Amino acid sequence: MGSNPNNTPKEDTFGWGVNFTSVIAATDRDQLKLGLVYGEGIASYFNDGGTAVALDRSGLETVESLGLSLWYDHYWNKHWSS
């Protein structure tokens, strides 16, 4: 692992991830929305971020991440939902 003039490590590593989403019609207007994401080195792609990589004496390593989301979207009228 080399260094650049700013004394920051220079190293590359491979990250990967999969993202599955779905929308299920609960009623004529309401929807159940689902999401699952899993991978290594992808935490910066999450809504609230996180740690994508870790650096220790042996080098740069990707961090395993799992994200789940589930919400119910109720449509009050054609313009407003919550």
The four Cα atoms 24, 66, 19, 43 give a dihedral, to 10 degrees, of 130
Distance CA 23, CA 7 (A): 47
Domain boundaries defined on the chain: 2-73
Q: Which of 41, 44, 29 is nearest to 76 (CA)?
A: 29
* pLDDT, mean over the chain: 82
pLDDT at 63: 84
C-alpha pair distances (Å), 42 with each of 26, 45, 68? 31, 6, 14
Mean pLDDT, rounded, for 35-49 = 81
pLDDT at 42: 85
> Is the pLDDT score of 82 beyond 70?
yes
**Whole-model pTM?**
0.66
> Is the pLDDT score of 1 beyond 60?
no
- Asked if residue 75 lies in contact with residue 33, where contact means CB atoms within 8 angstroms, the answer is no
